[in-house]
Structure 1
Amino acid sequence: MNRIPFNTGWMCRPAASEAEEVPVTIPHDAMQWDPKSADSPSGVNSGWYSARDYLYTKHFSSADIRRSSGDLTLLEFEGVYRNARIRLNGRLIASHDYGYSGFYADLSEYIAEGDNVLTVEAHNSDQPNCRWYSGTGIYRPVWLCVMPERHIMPDGVRITTVDYRTRRIAVDVRTSHPGVVYVSVLDVDGRSMAQFKALSDRLDGQGNLMHEECVIPDVRLWNTDEPNLYTCVVRFGDDEQREVFGVRTVECDVRRGFRINGERVILRGCCLHHDNGLLGACAYPAAEERKVALLKGGGYNAIRSAHNPCSKALLDAYDRLGMLMLDEYVDGWYIHKTRYDYGTEVEANYRDDLADLVAKDYNHPSVIMYSIGNEVSETAQPRGIALTDAMTQYLHGLDATRPVTCGVNIFFNFLSSMGLGVYTDEKAMKEIEHSGKKKAVGSEFFNRLAGIMGADFMKFGATLPPCDWKTRGAFAVMDVAGYNYGIRRYRHDLNRYPNRVIVGSENLLLGCGAILGFGAEQSAADR
């Protein structure tokens, strides 16, 4: 695959106006152009920006694309916020609703001889649709991908550590046609560590598949202290793909905890949103690496993406610097947290979205776990428990090497079961009505209330017996139970559910010392 940056030569303007187009370079966050207003429907969550729809335009010549007859020509968008519509010469060629995942647009059949006009619509005027600063537009890189007719499928190379002790890895390659695949593993200096060839000829509905295992005796393992990386070079006919990977395994159980390469690791993590402060939502590699380096220097070894899939640049930084990653799919499910959020689409789109997530993450040794949601009080309901199970099992089918969790606010589940849910469709509607009146509803109201009543308010609420009743169904069908603000339940629940693995997916700093042995707090659930 010839993968070429496609980030320059773009023009941008608000879609609803005849304003003059302005030249921009991708990544670009158009929300920073929007006016600020005290009446902004999203209020403080968007930084008081009144978000709009934007139109991006790029002219390119067919002569600038080095391709032959039969070549496959794709555009890879790493992230467009949101409800993206891609047109080439006026024809709709791709649509993508979720603003935090990447996607491909196939140009192959639509490129005209001579000048071509590519347009990207980003629809973000329906507000509020997010509980934090989202940004607007093409805020992550764009790539032009050209590959021959006989090619390796996009995201078609996967490397799996089979046994860290013997340094055995498996390489899976999907190709458009049957044929011989050549594989080389290179170290950081480009020296060959292993090479082999095998036949791609197993049809599985997604192309032809090659699966081969090999032992690389001299390979050095990847971990947080020594993040050793290698490059897998795959050749198929005239096509080539390169994937950076690390040799490591992930395991977790109730007896030995979380382990990398058999060694127990205590996760010292934080929840990290995707924006870069004054740079907005743009995913600049240097800015992403700076965040990781600062956190690593501060003693962190793990990050949870809050509350959406992170950028490829951030994953690359995690791999290089030895940071562990819990990549999260989405903030909410079918109960709206804001009026125009992704809740309407989740049940219809989650399979495609999770496949996109795994395709992005699979070869990154830093990614240790998937999270399917954040504070989704749907997990207190039979419908939500069934969705938890469906997402978990679907992820297992896509990637059997990583456990699945979900960040469940234990207290919120109890409140939801009492008809007092922090998130409801009705409250999402009221958020719009109150936006200009400076009244808080939903999570903003609850956050203010918790701030007034203190940290113990959330922690004590989670110890109430009904919190157990309204979470155990969902926790039983995920690999790792994600506890949001449930720190006082750990000892009690580990006794009651001896086979439950728990991760503190979100916590207040106050009280964490008790779990780490720096103090003693007794849970109401223990008394």
Structure 2
Amino acid sequence: MLAEKRTAQSPGGINTGWFEGYDYRYVKQFTAPEAWRGRTVMLEFEGVYHNAQVFLNGHKIGGRPYGYSGFFVTLDEHLNYGGDNTLEVIAHNADQPNSRWYSGAGIYRPVQLYLSAGKSYLPPESIRVRTLGLDPVRLEITVRTVGEGNIQVELLDGDKVLHSGRAHSDGNARLLLTATELQPWSPEHPRLYTCRVRFEGDEDRVTFGARTIEWSARKGFAINDRRVILRGACIHHDNGPLGAACWPDAVERKVRLLQECGYNAIRSAHNPCSKTLLEVCDRLGMLVMDEYVDCWYIHKTKNDYVQYFADWWQRDLADMTAKDFNHPCVVLYSTGNEVSETAQERGIQLTGQMTRYLHDCDPTRPVTCGVNIFFNLLSSLGFGVYSDEKAEKEAEKPVGSQFFNDMAGLCGAGFMKWGATLHGCDVKTRGAFANMDIAGYNYGINRYRHDLQKYPDRLILGSETFCSDAYRFWQMAQHEPRLIGDFVWAGMDYLGEVGVGSWEYHDYAPGFDHGPGWLTAGSGRIDLTGYRLAEGDYTRVAFGLEKGPVLAVRPVNHPGEKHSPSAWKMTDAIRSWSWSGCEGNPAIVEVYTTAARVELTLNGRKVGEKRRGKDCRVIFRTRYEDGTLTAIARDANGNEVGRTALRTAGPETELRAEPEQKQTAPGRLCYIPLRYTDGAGTTKPMERGRIRVNVEGGKLLALGHACPYNADGFLGSETDTYWGRALAIVLAEGDVTMTAEDGTRRAVCKIACKEVGTC
């Protein structure tokens, strides 16, 4: 989809980044060996967007309407053994608009081939490992088989067999094992083991971690009998400049960057996540809330999932839990996002049905739903609600969540949070909240204290929140176990929903109409290239993970200028005091700290001192001049407890290409940030240029910058920079050499490529 045209005629419009949508046809010719005869041959499609249809030799053998649900198809009946076969997959994406964000298109997640050992076999996703207790570790292992026979179960630590057991299966088998040598899995110590099952010549294995989850009004949310506060980030499924394609290296990098930003949990917004994400989160200790869908029976876009929901929601949820069950990182399920159906009696009943059904599929995890409290009230009054009659007027009159987002952009975050305190918001949410395990509040922090007192058994999750509320949430959560977590919108910037979280000026964004040329939301504590913004530093300080002080400055070259409006941006400050040509301009300086007081000095002279208020952000105003800007944090007695400084870059300018990894392997991704710096490596945000890139020993997959306005896209070999930065992503084939030049400056980087296992 990244290669399609972006035009004003695109029905997906701002939602999908103005990409036009089409149907896509994949054809694969292959030979089925005679040795496959008598065996079950299956294909797993982990994700096809969307309304996929699969044909083998002209016969339809399966498909799935939901673009985020994995599905299996069996090939046996129509295979030509020993001869040629034609496999065809059609992905329909011409039915625009069908999404509120960049969906990607076609086969964007892996496809796996499964071959059984014979007529009796272990079907995919047939092994489940459940932790019953931890002292010692007690496990329940259930196995589903096709055919009857004996099964052998082994628990492995690497290649070492720790425990084993046997049972007979008549289609289902259950074993109880006490595994004294196993250590629990936790975010701090993500210990993983393998369960290997053998059955009638067939073999399968799953990775698992031993951990327990509890949720109660007394204890809040606990993992392994210890309270855990979820410091969460909402993310969409795309991998930035790579689009929706599920590259394992890209997924792992995203999770790692979010952890470094201070988050211990991810919300998969607003669709089931990939298996790759779960595997990465298991290994790295990142917790996951897997979410089902963005709409139930009320449309948000004309051709969204509403038309399939009623027939498919049970199958979708069953498949989501089958995917997630053995992954210790998954600790919550969400049945939906900002579904105003929860304000209606029909929707309240459906909330309960979905919660109970998820418990039937997986009784080990709690269920929530992200409810926009103010939106529920507004929709019940007739504002912003989609109907079939409005479909043709959608372009002129935004509806559903787009209506709410537009209003929030104009009125600001404070208006949204104030609106959530209205009594009608309680009336229009309490029924649905009673039908879920944990109440999911989107932008409802101003209700927390009131509702915790009014509903003594209610557990509250900030299922979608503003960055600026992180410190306030964290202080409340320390003392209230029923406030279990917070998920900021968003952890990392994403494609689509263009401009919803951007603060841009006219030098980077010619117009604020969010028309073609705009590509990303601009909402992220980490930008689209992976660079942590000042909002990410604020988050680390707010969560007590960094003492600070951290120093950041709003762009000094735009004094008093208007920027594009957004409620999803706390600040556009960056960590720089290099604003060439801005001498004497007013400068807004932000200091993030939990200290009692902050002193600000410029070139050795004091320019301000303030007592910290109710937040961990202290704002100063001064005049820009080159030199050294220093923030000094002091305790209540005036003693210095920390300091940090920003220094103006030198007059010389270099172009640098600095790979994030010095070695790689064939088939791996190489991330190579590009920066304008001085000779000492200090970034110069005022430098801007058109950079051309050439790659040897690999393929340039993506090139671009983080500005939400990006007319170039990511598939060319030339890019603009944004605040002095850009990013290249290269798929390694051998030793990689990348050359970057802007007509004046040149940078070369080399990455050694070794075979897998030697890096």
Aligned ranges 1:79-478 → 2 under 5 Å? 79-113=47-81, 114-147=83-116, 148-187=118-157, 189-201=158-170, 208-431=171-394, 433-434=395-396, 440-478=398-436
The answer to whether the aligner puts 1:502 opposite 2:470 as a matched pair is no
CA deviations on 1:296-319 (whole Å, 9 max, x unpaired) are 111110000000001110110000
**Structure 1 residues 353-374: Cα deviation after superposition (integer angstroms, max 9, x where no partner):** 0011011000000000100000
Q: Deviations over 1:164-210 (max 9, x none)?
A: 222001100001122111000001x3111100101113xxxxxx111
Paired with 1:418 and 1:165, the residues of 2 have a C-alpha distance of 53
Identity of aligned residues (%): 55
One-letter code aligned to 1:277: G
Q: Which residue of 2 aligns with 1:47?
A: 17
How many angstroms apart in 2 are the aligned matches of 1:250 and 1:191?
28
Partner residue, 1:22: none
- Whole-angstrom distance in 2 between the partners of 1:395 and 1:515: 29
- The answer to which of 238-247 and 145-154 deviates more is 145-154
Structure 2 residue identity aligned to 1:283: C
> Are the equivalent residues in 1 in contact too, given 2:299–2:386 (CA < 8 A)?
yes
Relative distance call for 1:440 and 1:388 in structure 2 (3 A) is closer
The superposition leaves residues 461-506 of structure 1 with CA deviations (integer Å, 9 ceiling, x where unpaired) of 1000010111111111111111101111111111111001111100
Contact 1:337 1:442 in 2 (8 A): yes
| Structure-1 separation of matches of 2:406 and 2:425 | 22
Equivalent residues of 2:153, 2:164 under 8 A apart: yes
For residues 361 and 66 of structure 1, do their structure 2 counterparts lie closer, same or farther at Cα, with a shift above 3 Å needed? farther
Q: Deviations over 1:341-389 (max 9, x none)?
A: 0011111110100011011000000000100000000011111011111
Instruction: Tell me the distance in 2 between the aligned counterparts of 1:100 and 1:406.
Output: 18
Amino acid at match of 1:198: A
Letter in 1 for 2:115: V
Give TM-score scaled by structure 1 length.
0.88
**Equivalent-residue separation in structure 2 for 1:66 and 1:505 (angstroms):** 51
Partner of residue 662, structure 2: none
After TM superposition, give the deviation of residue 49 of structure 1 in Å.
0.7
Q: Measure, in 2, the Cα distance between the counterparts of 1:442 and 1:353.
A: 23
* Structure 1 equivalent of residue 756 of structure 2: none
Q: Secondary structure at the match of 1:140?
A: coil
| Kept after mapping to 2: 8 A contact 1:337/1:428 | no
How far, CA to CA, are the matches of 1:136 and 1:304 in structure 2?
Answer: 22
- In the alignment, structure 2 segments of 5+ residues that lack a partner are 476-541, 543-612, 616-759
Q: What's 2:26 paired with?
A: 56
**CA distance in 2: counterparts of 1:423 and 1:499, whole angstroms:** 34
CA distance in 2, matches of 1:175, 1:443: 44
Hey, what's the Cα distance between the residues in 1 that align with 2:35 and 2:432? 51
1:12: which partner in 2? none
- Name the amino acid aligned to 2:64: H
Deviation at 1:452, TM superposition (A): 2.0
Cα distance change, pair 304–62 in 1 and its aligned pair in 2 (3 A):
same
Q: CA deviation at 1:95?
A: 2.1
> Displacement of 1:511 after TM fit?
2.7
CA contact (8 A) 1:84 1:120 kept: yes
Report the residue type matching 2:19 in the other structure. Y
User: Which SS does the other structure have where 1:154 is aligned?
Assistant: coil
Q: CA deviation at 1:447?
A: 1.6
Structure 1 pair 166–423 and aligned structure 2 pair: CA distance change class (3 A): farther
Q: Match for 1:411: what amino acid?
A: F
Matches of 1:137 and 1:60 in 2, distance apart? Answer: 20
Alpha-carbon spacing, 1:124–1:192, altered in 2? closer, same or farther (3 Å): same
Structure 1, unpaired ranges of 5+ = 1-30, 202-207, 522-527
Alpha-carbon distance between aligned partners in 1 of 2:91 and 2:322, rounded to the nearest angstrom: 23
Shift in Å at residue 33 of structure 1? 2.7
Q: CA deviation at 1:426?
A: 4.3
In 1: Cα distance, 2:37 partner to 2:240 partner: 43
Amino acid of the structure 1 residue aligned with 2:114: C
Return the alpha-carbon distance in structure 2 between the equivalents of residues 424 and 411 of structure 1. Answer: 19
Compared CA separation, residues 493 and 101, structure 1 to 2 (3 A)? same
> What CA distance in whole angstroms lies between the structure 2 residues aligned with 1:481 and 1:520?
26
> Does residue 67 in structure 1 map to residue 57 in structure 2?
no
CA distance in 2, matches of 1:516, 1:62: 58
Q: Which has the higher helix share?
A: 1
Cα offset, 1:454, TM superposition: 1.4
Aligned to 1:16: none
Q: Distance in 2 between matches of 1:309 and 1:427?
A: 29
CA contact (8 A) 2:384 2:403 kept: no
In the alignment, does 2:2 pair up with 1:32? yes
Seen in structure 2, the aligned counterparts of structure 1 residues 469 and 440 have a Cα distance that, compared at 3 Å, is closer
1:424 to 1:510, Cα distance in 2 relative to 1, 3 A = farther
Distance in 1 of aligned mates of 2:258 and 2:228: 17
Alignment of 1:483-498 (within 5 A): 483-498=441-456
Counterpart amino acid of residue 505 in structure 1: S
Closer, same or farther in 2 for the Cα pair 1:78/1:459, shift >3 Å? same
* Aligned positions, number: 477
Deviation at 1:417, TM superposition (A): 1.4
- Is the contact between residue 152 and residue 239 of structure 1 (CA under 8 Å) also seen in structure 2? yes
Deviation of the 1:428 alpha carbon = 4.4
Offset of 1:418 from its aligned partner? 1.1
- For 2:387 and 2:268, how far apart are their aligned partners in 1? 24
1: CA distance, partners of 2:109 / 2:54: 15
1:169 and 1:214 in contact (8 A); partners too: yes
User: What code does the residue aligned with 1:36 have?
Assistant: R
2-structure distance, mates of 1:414, 1:127: 29
Larger Rg: 2
Residue identity matched to 2:348: I
Q: CA deviation at 1:218?
A: 1.5
